[in-house]
Amino acid sequence: MIFALAFKCLATSSSLVFLVFFAAGRLSGVYLGNLIESKLALGTLEVSIHKHWQEGIKLADQLRTLGYSVTT
């Protein structure tokens, strides 16, 4: 929910400040998440893939049939 609100502010604003804070928030969130995961050693891996929506649905279905968890 917070990500959607931040992205909406970024998309509707022409201010560079929003872009810098959005990037810094994303970077710090990914860094802290990786740091916590490495301490917990759950062994999960997250991959972000950006594709055209129709191809993305096909890829998600293929990954699900192989037993991977996929969110779209």
List, for residues 19-53, the tens digit of each pLDDT value. 788 788 889 988 998 888 888 877 677 788 888 88
Q: What is the pLDDT of residue 72?
A: 76
What local confidence, expressed as pLDDT, does residue 50 receive?
A: 85
> Within this chain, do residues 60 and 36 fall inside the same structural domain, yes or no?
no
Only one residue has tokens 């998309």, namely 11
The model's confidence at residue 62, banded by pLDDT at 50, 70 and 90, is very high
- Quick one: 33 and 1 in the same domain? yes
Could you tell me the residue range of the domain that residue 51 belongs to?
A: 45-72
Q: Are 40 and 32 spatial neighbours (Cβ–Cβ below 8 Å)?
A: no
Residue 1 has a pLDDT of 60
Q: Which DSSP string corresponds to 28-43?
A: HHHHHHHHHHHHHT--
Q: Is 12 left (phi over 0), alpha (psi -120 to 50) or beta?
A: alpha
Residues 37 and 51 in one domain: no
Number of domains in the chain: 2
The string of pLDDT tens digits covering residues 3-20 is: 677 767 767 777 778 778
